[in-house]
Amino acid sequence: MPAMSAITVIKRNPAGEETWRYQGVLTSREGNAIHLEAPFNAKDTPFMGIIIKNGDLFIETYYIDRWYNIFQIHDRDDGTLKGWYCNIGKPAVYESDEVISYIDLALDLWIDPGGKQTVMDRDEFQALELDEDTRAQALTALRELQALFSKIAKQPREKKTRG
């Protein structure tokens, strides 16, 4: 899979059903991780005190061996970092050279640029019918992300624009 090639991302629910599909551009692939950039492809959405705008740049990292993915979100107009959105889910799967997918387990972590963390959708996660191992893996992933971002979220960030 060459860098700077088109890639499709498919988000699936715990039953494996597709819930969202979008296109991105692969920027690199290294070992267990795939990095891509994708513009936000929905209407402007108020979220956690900001507006995620159509066209905002999402710098996304998916892992084939970790129970989460990480989206770093930058403003479409000036490249300012808006925050990080982390999905707790089963490890990413390469369905083909041009398609990756993951199963979303509802639990999310939002980190604002100042490092404040907010766990989201706990009730939705608790309501899922998951086996004990899957639930434990998801909660471990949440703790890993919280520890990771307690260290890096406060570091200065550069503005980012597409390309």
Give the helix/strand (H/E) hosting 27. strand 18-30
Q: Average pLDDT, whole number, for the chain?
A: 93
Q: Strand pairing of 99-111 and 6-12?
A: parallel
Residue with tokens 């900001």: 50
Secondary-structure percent of the chain, ordered helix, strand, coil, rounded to 5: 15, 45, 35
Q: For position 155, what pLDDT does the model report?
A: 59
Each residue's pLDDT, cut to its tens digit, for the chain (163 residues) gives: 556 799 999 999 999 999 999 999 999 999 999 999 999 999 999 999 999 999 999 999 999 999 999 999 999 999 999 999 999 999 999 999 899 999 999 999 999 998 999 999 999 999 999 999 999 999 999 999 999 999 875 555 556 665 5
Backbone angles phi, psi at 122, to 5 degrees: -60, -40
Q: Convert 146-163 to b/e letters by CB count within 10 Å (16 or more is b).
A: eebbeeebeeeeeebeee
Q: Which residues sit opposite 8 in a β-bridge?
A: 23, 99
